[in-house]
Structure 1
Amino acid sequence: MGHLSRVDDLVVVVPGILGSTLADADGHEVWGLSGKALLRGIRTFGNAVKGLTLAPGLGDGPPGDGVRPVGLMPDLHALPGVWMPVDGYSGLLGWLERTFTLRRRLPGDAADVPANLVGFAYDWRLSCRCNAQRLAERVDEELGRWRASRPGRRDAKVIFLCHSMGGLVTRSYVEQCGGAEVTRRVITLGTPYRGSLDALLYLVNGMRYGIGPAGLDLTAFARSLPSLHQLTPDYACLTTAAGSPLRYAREVTGLPGVDEELLRHAGRFHADLRESDASRRYGVEYVPVGGVLQPTPTTAETEGDGLRPVLTIDGVDEGGDGRVPHLSSGHVGAGRHAYTPWEKHGSLQNNRAVRQALYNWLTPEPPVHRGADDGTVALSVAAPEILVEGEAYEIRATVPADRPGHDRVAVFAGAQDGPMRRMTNRGGGLYTARISGLPAGGHRVRIGTRVSSHVVMTALVLVLERG
């Protein structure tokens, strides 16, 4: 084994929405299958969805239904109508242990064995405030154990590595639950600090998929979630008529599918975070990472009983990671990104360049030389996130026009474990590819500028069974 970079603090990984497995009061898994078993997991969840739908008026409280988080999702997962494909966290946790002096508590270890790498699972249905309180309890326990394990660790603090909504849970802990005093740094990957338009689209437009003879409709379940309402945009994002100014969603009455009380509650949640100065007083550093250049819904127009997404805001296409707009993922601390990879939202935690950047944020050791810039080419990739079995997967990759030779780049694409094939040059910096025959399940599609294993980004797609 090579040199492991030293980490003296406790590192806590906080996943995004859907990123924790859930079990019921009897210990039976109600959300947890991923990877090849993903479709079966969705169907299983659909069968239990009535019992998992939250009652109105829950606010920041626990539901009292016995559902509890068990662990982090290991592999690719998705739940249509709540959140689209996201990669798992086993790869990230394994890489952290192989690269740094970080160790998780193993299944056979005693409860008092110290560990400085913790995966925090939480019930992602509930409000971020509720889960922040649970995070406070877990951090108190784990940090106390780590500090007490050796005299040199008495001054250890916590470094959080958060994906998506996990950053909102953590920020609530830091700003509202006393966490600022023990937190050194909060690294967030694609956290929607000002929300994501997709969350509002799911609530208003709903989603139904024909999986199996009865189909699957999770719309009522999605609309009951405080968490999903807290992911809606905390900026003016809606136009109600041609040429009208943008308005906050909570200002527009009569939006179908939205719980107006939960939406107002979400607005108060974000306002309280902005007004807190706890992190400033204790010197907590926020390190926001956000994908850029990807087509990202940012505003919407009301259209009949639904919303039509728009990629621009005030006529400007600011991009993002395909799920979270650029204006949202960097809106914390100094108000700008610490790092901007060309990556999709669901794959940020496993992006090669992001992992390289983590060396500077996790360890106090001097930077280690890791090779010169490899000349990676920026790519903007448009591809479907959901297909029905038998449909072809169409990819459109664009190289920015300000890059010299943007219309003469060799761009490759291929499904995981399959060959990387050269994409067709359509001129003007546009490259296309078509992949057929993807079986039902979740897939990673690699896009890069070399035929080797060099990958610029990974697009995730869920292929549903036909029927």
Structure 2
Amino acid sequence: MTDTNRTCFMKGQGAQPRRDRSQLPPRKMATLIIVLTMLFFLAAAHNAAAQPQKPQPERPLVFVPGILGSRLVDDNGTVIWGDRNSYLNFPKLEIAPSGPVTALHSDGRLVESINVLGPFWTIHQYDTLLHYLHSLGYIDNETLFVFAYDWRLSNFETAKQLQTFVDDPKRGRLQNGQFDLLSHSMGGIVSKLWMVKEGGAARVHKAIYMGTPFQGSMNAFETLSDGWGDFTNFIAGGLPTVRRVALSFPALYELLPTYDKCCRLGSPEKYTPLDVLDVATWRQRDWLPSEYRANGPRGAAFERGLSEARRVGELMRQPIPGVAQVMIAGDYFDTGLYLYVPTNRQSWRDWNFRRSKGDGTVPVWSAANNFSSIEGTEPSFQQHATIFADKYLQNKLERELLNTAPPPVKHDVLGEIDTPKHEKRRLDLARADLSPRIAEPGANATVTVAFEFETGVTRGDVQPTAQLLQRGAADAPITLVETTTDADLAVRRLTFAGSLVAPAVEDTYRIDINVAGQGDHAVFLTVLSAGRRQP
């Protein structure tokens, strides 16, 4: 008889079935389930603790953009600066002696990209930086606070507005302990004035400056001399309009160079230093539009602008005890450094500029706030407008801002290039140009690149690459052919050139020039039909 049959037989006889000893009583079973559940969650918590935690922002961060970097709108909310019509609207930015010609204010938003004349002329501004900060764990209006402002006004006034911004109760995280400051370009001047003049230093743990012109930028004079190039000047109303409107901005004066012997009467061989913050220097030399002369309606505003600029220069030299400061200074691009005014031709039309090292806009010594040394600054291989796109700089920001510092990115020494023969060449300066910068669809254009080195070089030591970036299509490589001459070698220079065909679609295209281990250098090609270029 099988076990099954036996069980049935006993049930049939009325006997009680035996309890299976493998089964636990209900009370014990419930206890076991509770114990196992607790063990499961304890194990999960242990495993989670054992996993490496993603670094998080240690403190809230306030970002202060630079000049031109904040949107400006009128009283109806119409964007005047920061969209496709930005340069067309430039005359509306003018500040009259009694106030703005058009009442404008910041709408609290950054210029993420600028589009001029419809679908073309797109140049990214802060979208790259904001995307990177979000990737680090910053959350808008919780741990990341963007201070947009009217960049035309004096930095003293903007510093007061920054005080109001950080005191706003809706930004409570900024009132509960210290926070970090991240500033780009003129935003660093605003930040430092706020810390020095408004008592903000006590609230700041760390201040990071990216390409800040602490001692000014020759680019301010170059704008007054040449505007932004023939095409953009035309869009903005012509060079006289660019000069008149720019001189109405108090902030422009506060960006004038203040470093020793920045401006010189004479030639490089023999000169006398000029004090460009002295009103007489301008009025005696035909440097001003008529309305800014002594008896003009804007004369007093001009004098006030130079006076405030001198104060800014003095305050930028003051230390800030108790605040850790990190200065990022680009030093591999051709940058205006000195202004020469010929003795026998002293009009603004005869200004000559000499160039040296910087980020293309700010001399490296001005960004370092020290014209005797750049020791302790962090380099960047990117140009001024996108200095924050440098991958090594981004790693530096991560280590400075997050609570768990990752190891530094392993990379080649910035500015030190490996040759195909595994020799080292130390880069001193890089230049890139594009001709023409504005082309019709299908027209030819030429990219030229030059690298200057601290020591001797030979042909073939550097092999740069280039590509035309196209939205919605594959990037187009550009073959760079070495064009180095014996005369170039004599001055430790290597040169290259490459040809490209302008795309069929009207737009502004970025051309990246890359040197292995050193990052990208960019030039921009605007593609525009002939009919659209006529006045």
The two structures have a TM-score, normalised by structure 1, of: 0.80
Cα distance in 2, alignment partners of residues 456 and 284 from structure 1: 30
What does residue 189 of structure 1 align with?
Answer: 210
CA contact (8 A) 2:396 2:408 kept: no
What does residue 403 of structure 2 align with?
Answer: 364
Greater displacement, 420-429 / 4-13: 420-429
CA contact (8 A) 1:290 1:337 kept: no
Instruction: Specify whether residues 437 and 180 from structure 1 end up closer, same or farther in structure 2 by C-alpha distance, changes over 3 A only.
Output: same
CA contact (8 A) 1:11 1:161 kept: yes
Deviation at 1:197, TM superposition (A): 0.5
What does residue 246 of structure 1 align with?
Answer: 273
Cα distance in 2, alignment partners of residues 136 and 209 from structure 1: 39
What does residue 112 of structure 1 align with?
Answer: none
CA contact (8 A) 2:106 2:148 kept: no
| % identity of equivalent residues | 23
Q: 5 Å matches for 1:217-366?
A: 217-235=241-259, 236-242=261-267, 243-251=270-278, 252-254=281-283, 255=285, 256-257=287-288, 259-275=302-318, 277=319, 279-280=320-321, 283-303=322-342, 304=345, 305-306=347-348, 307-312=350-355, 317=356, 319-331=357-369, 336-366=375-405
Cα distance in 2, alignment partners of residues 135 and 85 from structure 1: 29
Instruction: Specify whether residues 347 and 372 from structure 1 end up closer, same or farther in structure 2 by C-alpha distance, changes over 3 A only.
Output: closer
Give CA deviations for 1:44-86 in whole Å, capped at 9, x if unaligned: x14xx24x3112377xxx999353333011125789xxxx997
- State the AA in 2 paired with 1:233: P
Deviation at 1:3, TM superposition (A): 5.4
Greater displacement, 341-350 / 178-187: 341-350
Unaligned runs of 5+ in 1: 106-114, 149-153
Cα distance in 1, alignment partners of residues 213 and 131 from structure 2: 26
Q: 5 Å matches for 1:75-154?
A: 75-76=113-114, 87-99=124-136, 101-105=137-141, 115-141=142-168, 145-146=172-173, 154=176
**3-state SS, counterpart of residue 87 of structure 2:** helix
What does residue 191 of structure 2 align with?
Answer: 170
What does residue 151 of structure 1 align with?
Answer: none
- State the AA in 1 paired with 2:139: R
What does residue 110 of structure 1 align with?
Answer: none
Instruction: Specify whether residues 204 and 56 from structure 1 end up closer, same or farther in structure 2 by C-alpha distance, changes over 3 A only.
Output: farther
- State the AA in 1 paired with 2:439: E
What does residue 180 of structure 2 align with?
Answer: 159
What does residue 109 of structure 2 align with?
Answer: 71
The two structures have a TM-score, normalised by structure 2, of: 0.70
Instruction: Specify whether residues 213 and 128 from structure 1 end up closer, same or farther in structure 2 by C-alpha distance, changes over 3 A only.
Output: closer
CA contact (8 A) 1:399 1:406 kept: no
What does residue 201 of structure 2 align with?
Answer: 180
If asked which structure has higher relative contact order (CA below 8 Å, sep 6+), I would say 1
- State the AA in 2 paired with 1:203: L
Greater displacement, 436-445 / 235-244: 436-445
Instruction: Specify whether residues 269 and 347 from structure 1 end up closer, same or farther in structure 2 by C-alpha distance, changes over 3 A only.
Output: same
Root mean square deviation of aligned Cα: 3.4
- State the AA in 2 paired with 1:362: L
Instruction: Specify whether residues 86 and 270 from structure 1 end up closer, same or farther in structure 2 by C-alpha distance, changes over 3 A only.
Output: farther
Deviation at 1:144, TM superposition (A): 5.5
Tell me which of 444, 449, 460 is aligned to 1:396. Answer: 449
CA contact (8 A) 1:290 1:341 kept: yes
Cα distance in 1, alignment partners of residues 248 and 159 from structure 2: 19
Cα distance in 2, alignment partners of residues 15 and 240 from structure 1: 34
Cα distance in 1, alignment partners of residues 237 and 101 from structure 2: 27
Instruction: Specify whether residues 442 and 187 from structure 1 end up closer, same or farther in structure 2 by C-alpha distance, changes over 3 A only.
Output: farther
Unaligned runs of 5+ in 2: 1-51, 293-301, 418-426
Instruction: Specify whether residues 406 and 57 from structure 1 end up closer, same or farther in structure 2 by C-alpha distance, changes over 3 A only.
Output: farther
User: If you compute each CA radius of gyration, which structure gives the higher value, 1 or 2?
Assistant: 2
**3-state SS, counterpart of residue 328 of structure 1:** helix
CA contact (8 A) 2:341 2:352 kept: no
Cα distance in 2, alignment partners of residues 398 and 221 from structure 1: 36
What does residue 54 of structure 1 align with?
Answer: 95
